[in-house]
A = this chain, B = another copy of it.
Amino acid sequence: MLGVLGGMGPLATVDFLAKLVAATAAETDQQHMPLLVRSVPQIPDRSACIMHGGESPLPALRFGLRELGRGGATVAVIPCNTAHYWADDLVGDDLPPLLHIVDAVAAHLAEVLPDGAPIAVLSTTGTRAARVYENRLDQTRWPILEATSAGAAAVASGIAMVKAGQVEAASQIFAQQVLAERARGAQGVILACTEIPAALHSDDPLVVDATDALARRCVRWFRETYRGVPSSPASGGRL
Contacts and interface: CB of A to CB of B under 8 A. Distances in A.
Given A37-B37, A67-B71, A67-B237, A21 B29 contact: no
Contacts of A22: 165
B1 A29 contact: no
Q: How many copies does the complex hold?
A: 2
Interface stretch (A4-12, A101-109, A130-138, A177-185): A4-12
A1 B40 CA distance: 8
Interface in A12-52: 13-14, 17-18, 21-22, 24, 26-32, 34-43, 45
Interface string A33-77: 011111111110100000000000001101100010011100000
A9 B32 contact: yes
Contact of A32 (B7, B35, B229): B7
Contact of A41 (B30, B36, B163, B231): B30
Interface in A202-216: none
A8 B26 CA distance: 14
Contacts of A41: 29-32, 34
Interface of A: 1, 6-11, 13-14, 17-18, 21-22, 24, 26-32, 34-43, 45, 59-60, 62-63, 67, 70-72, 163-165, 229, 231-234, 237, 239
Nearest to A60: B233
A220 B94 CA distance: 36
Contacts of A26: 10, 164-165
